[in-house]
């Protein structure tokens, strides 16, 4: 047991029921010698398509179901516009690409764009057309230019004689009710749902052709009042058949990337200063069934060639945010990719045995790594260059699979080793991460060959459990344990984003990871994003959330960080390069107040816990000491802070504090900044000084010491 734990345990024995008693807490920071080095990759991000993270989230596209493949039976998210005495209708064509009725064949643009929307206008009335609802609305901002594009063909093609597959309905030819279209303008607009307010509008001149043609235009708003509730509308005042596909609308994106991301959410990540991005999952890597895993090859190139795929969280992924976009996201946020490769295991617990059957998947992973890291002389590096990014991406870690502990057949040992051998043969410097951690799943771990370089541990717990686990890594055996990657973790209290008590649980847990960052080399909170729109019973639109308790929330127009987001930002922005050992005396304790919810894997909870958690690091170049202290108690707590071995200490430092009045306090889309960190001057600093930590708070004290190690 290390010294901190001895102190904590002793305190537990003698200080039960003392939460309100006078206390003489002292934290001693030992600056006489540096503690363990802080891992340069300690804090990163984890992402997957969950909670409408990309489609309806980070990815800039505003049109939902842009290529009409989200639902095989109806044109979901699309409405008919039929004003005045119009006689018009819309119909999904080729909704199920596996079984396209004879009278709907001949309308694909390519293998990816196989379904489309037919607008039939027999009588245009005031206007006839189609409207897209967006992801719970199309957002409108003032003085903003949007890029719209879509494919249209303006007449039915003459069908070839029936042959080949899918000749069902061969005798069921639709009699086209009207003659061919006339060429001429159609109107494209962003407008209110009732059509009375037009925020931006333009026209394109349609050709009268039975062949697909792509049209593009810009739509610019004036000094309008922002709204999240608009529709995107394309209308005509002429009779005809209008086939639509790949209807797209982009607002300005971060760094003006074409096919890019939402600036507000990107900026939130930039502000966090994460070191890596774990992607593409999570469950999204694996997919529900074999064959549904992240299809990185069909996520490359122009969006016109991307079919999208099933997804793992109950909705289809457009894959508009594909492999290169993940990598450019890393580039924009200045973080490294940490790529998870599909390892032959799906969510329905099927697996592919190691051996020849697995070999194509191993090759696919090698190709994918080459796309990320290969130079332009490699096959996939050249493909990346052709896609617009000649420079390879730096990558240190690759993860083989996701949560393979669910596979109770023990197949992971063989699968992991087959991937690792091939990866390390071609990329000896790449470090392979196993998804099975040794402590929790001893019987399922990788046993063949050398220990995996790192193992991925996941923790989703309540605040009490996270606080208790702040000491977890203090006792890992440094000689026998592989390095740890905490690839998913979160304190799950509060929804859709987490609340203050969750943020305190997170912060307590992070003190443990930071103190042990010789062992815990990398960590990332999950899930990162949530679209906070609730289920709409009137329209049948589902909720944007599949997983409660997330870090960053948004609707179509605005985004906000949870208190936990600010904890992440505070921790990442205030960290040295080595740990300063801290010992505590008279550490205050709390009793558990309610029976623990959601106990992790049947673990019994301890009846008491400290109410202060802490870690200190120092930057050896600047001499800056960062002392992080979490006070989970409902009252302020004073402590004496001793800087043992400091030769000089600046009398003025600064302190950044996140706090709230109640454990359930939180941020939300309507109250986004209720709990945010506040920085203030810290005076009276010395080799020994006292400081009071507010109730329910996370404090980071920045203390300037002599710059010697």
| Interface contacts to ligand AHR, rule CB under 6 A | 48, 50, 281-283, 402-403, 488, 526-527, 547
Nearest distance from C-beta of residue 469 to ligand AHR, angstroms: 17
Question: What is the C-alpha to C-alpha distance for residues 340 and 432, in angstroms, rounded to an integer?
Answer: 10
**Minimum CB distance to ligand AHR smaller for 441 or for 547:** 547
**Minimum CB distance to ligand AHR smaller for 281 or for 563:** 281
**Minimum CB distance to ligand AHR smaller for 117 or for 502:** 502
Nearest distance from C-beta of residue 548 to ligand AHR, angstroms: 11
**Minimum CB distance to ligand AHR smaller for 354 or for 526:** 526
Backbone angles phi, psi at 578, to 5 degrees: -145, 155
**Minimum CB distance to ligand AHR smaller for 285 or for 369:** 285
Nearest distance from C-beta of residue 547 to ligand AHR, angstroms: 5
Nearest distance from C-beta of residue 288 to ligand AHR, angstroms: 12
Long-range contacts of 428-434 (CB under 8 A, 24+ apart): 430/369, 430/395, 430/396, 430/397, 430/398, 431/396, 431/397, 431/398, 432/397, 432/398, 432/399, 432/400, 433/397, 433/398, 433/399, 433/400, 433/485, 433/487, 434/400, 434/404, 434/482
Nearest distance from C-beta of residue 525 to ligand AHR, angstroms: 9
Query: Running DSSP on this structure, what letter comes out for residue 620?
Result: T
Q: How distant, in Å, are the alpha carbons of 29, 234, 374, 423 from that of 418?
A: 47, 52, 21, 9
**Minimum CB distance to ligand AHR smaller for 328 or for 404:** 404
Backbone angles phi, psi at 413, to 5 degrees: -55, -50
Nearest distance from C-beta of residue 562 to ligand AHR, angstroms: 15
Nearest distance from C-beta of residue 605 to ligand AHR, angstroms: 22
Which two three-digit tokens encode residue 383? 């493909």
Question: What is the C-alpha to C-alpha distance for residues 442 and 689, in angstroms, rounded to an integer?
Answer: 46
Which two three-digit tokens encode residue 458? 């996941």
Contact 702, 655 (CB under 8 A): yes
In 3D space, the residue among 84, 189, 181 whose CA is nearest the CA of residue 127 turns out to be: 84
Other beta carbons less than 10 A from residue 396's beta carbon: 16
**Minimum CB distance to ligand AHR smaller for 370 or for 457:** 457
Question: What is the C-alpha to C-alpha distance for residues 494 and 675, in angstroms, rounded to an integer?
Answer: 14
Contact 513, 524 (CB under 8 A): no
Close Cβ partners of 29 (under 8 Å, ≥ 6 residues apart): 580, 581, 582, 616, 625, 627, 641, 642, 643, 644
Nearest distance from C-beta of residue 297 to ligand AHR, angstroms: 22
**Minimum CB distance to ligand AHR smaller for 104 or for 403:** 403
Contact 531, 51 (CB under 8 A): yes
Question: What is the C-alpha to C-alpha distance for residues 626 and 700, in angstroms, rounded to an integer?
Answer: 6
**Minimum CB distance to ligand AHR smaller for 146 or for 489:** 489
CA neighbours closer than 13 Å in the CB half-sphere of residue 644:
14
Nearest distance from C-beta of residue 348 to ligand AHR, angstroms: 14
In 3D space, the residue among 537, 293, 553 whose CA is nearest the CA of residue 545 turns out to be: 553
Contact 106, 163 (CB under 8 A): no
**Minimum CB distance to ligand AHR smaller for 48 or for 413:** 48
Q: Which residue reads 């079919």 in tokens?
A: 307
Which two three-digit tokens encode residue 218? 């810009």
**Minimum CB distance to ligand AHR smaller for 280 or for 563:** 280
Nearest distance from C-beta of residue 370 to ligand AHR, angstroms: 25
**Minimum CB distance to ligand AHR smaller for 260 or for 344:** 344
Q: Which residue reads 């199920």 in tokens?
A: 96
Nearest distance from C-beta of residue 334 to ligand AHR, angstroms: 24
Close Cβ partners of 595 (under 8 Å, ≥ 6 residues apart): none
Residue 529, Cβ density class (10 Å: 0-12 exposed, 13-18 middle, ≥19 buried): buried
CA dihedral 326, 328, 329, 333 (to 10 degrees): 140
Question: What is the C-alpha to C-alpha distance for residues 267 and 560, in angstroms, rounded to an integer?
Answer: 11
Q: How distant, in Å, are the alpha carbons of 188, 401, 574 from that of 682?
A: 57, 47, 15
CA neighbours closer than 13 Å in the CB half-sphere of residue 410:
5
**Minimum CB distance to ligand AHR smaller for 402 or for 523:** 402
Nearest distance from C-beta of residue 283 to ligand AHR, angstroms: 4
Nearest distance from C-beta of residue 489 to ligand AHR, angstroms: 9
**Minimum CB distance to ligand AHR smaller for 402 or for 499:** 402
CA neighbours closer than 13 Å in the CB half-sphere of residue 547:
23
**Minimum CB distance to ligand AHR smaller for 312 or for 318:** 312
**Minimum CB distance to ligand AHR smaller for 50 or for 219:** 50
Nearest distance from C-beta of residue 404 to ligand AHR, angstroms: 10
Nearest distance from C-beta of residue 550 to ligand AHR, angstroms: 9
Contact 461, 491 (CB under 8 A): yes
Helix axes 563-573, 500-515, angle to 10 degrees: 30
Nearest distance from C-beta of residue 275 to ligand AHR, angstroms: 20
**Minimum CB distance to ligand AHR smaller for 150 or for 459:** 459
Nearest distance from C-beta of residue 501 to ligand AHR, angstroms: 20
């Amino acid at each position: 047991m290390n010294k901190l734990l001895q102190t904590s345990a002793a305190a537990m024995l003698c200080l039960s029921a003392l939460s309100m008693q006078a206390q003489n807490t002292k934290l001693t920071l030992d600056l006489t010698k540096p503690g363990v080095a802080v891992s340069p990759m300690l804090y990163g991000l984890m992402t997957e398509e969950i909670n409408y993270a990309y489609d309806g989230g980070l990815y800039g596209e505003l049109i939902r179901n842009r290529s009409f493949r989200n639902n095989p039976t109806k044109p979901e998210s699309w409405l008919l516009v039929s004003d005045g005495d119009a006689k018009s209708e819309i119909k999904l064509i080729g909704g199920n690409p596996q079984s396209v009725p004879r009278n709907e064949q001949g309308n694909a643009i390519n293998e990816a764009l196989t379904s489309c929307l037919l607008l039939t206008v027999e009588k245009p009335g005031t206007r006839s057309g189609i409207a897209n609802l967006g992801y719970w609305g199309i957002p409108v901002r003032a003085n903003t230019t949007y890029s719209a594009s879509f494919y249209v063909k303006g007449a039915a093609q003459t069908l070839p004689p029936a042959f080949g597959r899918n000749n069902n309905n061969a005798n069921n030819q639709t009699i086209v009710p009207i003659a061919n279209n006339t060429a001429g303008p159609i109107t494209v607009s962003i407008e209110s749902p009732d059509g009375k307010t037009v925020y931006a509008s333009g026209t394109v001149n349609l050709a009268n052709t039975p062949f697909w043609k792509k049209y593009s235009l810009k739509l610019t708003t004036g000094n309008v009042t922002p709204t999240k509730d608009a529709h995107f509308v394309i209308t005509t005042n002429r009779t005809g058949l209008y086939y639509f596909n790949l209807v797209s609308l982009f607002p300005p994106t971060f760094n003006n990337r074409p096919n890019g991301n939402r600036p507000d959410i990107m900026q939130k990540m930039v502000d966090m200063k994460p070191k890596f991005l774990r992607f593409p999952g999570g469950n999204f890597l694996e997919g529900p069934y074999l064959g549904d895993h992240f299809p990185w090859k069909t996520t490359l190139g122009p969006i016109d060639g991307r079919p999208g795929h099933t997804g793992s969280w109950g909705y289809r992924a457009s894959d508009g945010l594909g492999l290169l976009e993940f990598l450019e996201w890393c580039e924009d946020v200045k973080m490294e990719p940490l790529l998870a490769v599909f390892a032959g295991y799906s969510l329905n617990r099927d697996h592919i045995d190691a051996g020849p059957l697995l070999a194509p998947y191993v090759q696919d992973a090698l190709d994918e790594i080459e796309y990320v890291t290969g130079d332009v002389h490699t096959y996939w590096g050249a493909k990346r260059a052709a896609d617009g990014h000649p420079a390879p991406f730096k990558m240190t870690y690759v993860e083989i699979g996701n949560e393979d502990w669910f596979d109770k057949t023990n197949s992971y040992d063989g699968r992991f080793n087959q991937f690792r051998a091939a990866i390390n043969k071609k990329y000896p410097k790449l470090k392979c991460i196993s998804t099975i951690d040794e402590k929790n799943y001893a019987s399922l771990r990788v046993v063949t060959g050398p220990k995996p370089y790192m193992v991925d541990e996941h923790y989703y717990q309540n605040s009490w459990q996270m606080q208790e686990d702040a000491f977890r890594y203090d006792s890992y055996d440094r000689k026998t344990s592989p390095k740890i990657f905490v690839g998913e973790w979160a304190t799950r209290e509060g929804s859709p984003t987490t609340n203050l008590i969750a943020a305190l649980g997170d912060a307590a847990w992070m003190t443990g990871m930071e103190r042990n960052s010789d062992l815990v080399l990398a960590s990332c909170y999950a899930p990162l994003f949530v679209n906070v729109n609730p289920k709409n019973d009137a329209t049948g639109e589902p909720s944007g959330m599949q997983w409660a308790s997330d870090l960053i929330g948004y609707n179509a127009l605005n985004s906000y960080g949870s208190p936990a987001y600010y904890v992440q930002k505070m921790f990442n922005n205030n960290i040295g390069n080595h740990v300063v050992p801290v010992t505590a005396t008279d550490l205050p304790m709390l009793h558990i107040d309610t029976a623990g919810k959601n106990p992790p894997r049947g673990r019994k909870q301890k009846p008491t816990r400290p109410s202060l958690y802490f870690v200190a690091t120092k930057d050896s170049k600047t001499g800056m000491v960062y002392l992080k202290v979490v006070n989970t108690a409902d009252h302020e707590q004073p402590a004496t802070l001793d800087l043992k071995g400091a030769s000089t200490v600046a009398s003025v430092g600064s302190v950044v504090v996140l706090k709230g009045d109640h454990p359930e306090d939180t941020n939300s889309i309507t109250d986004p900044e209720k709990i945010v960190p506040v920085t203030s001057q810290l005076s009276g600093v010395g080799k020994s000084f006292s400081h009071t930590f507010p109730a329910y708070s996370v404090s980071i004290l920045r203390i300037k010491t002599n710059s010697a190690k």
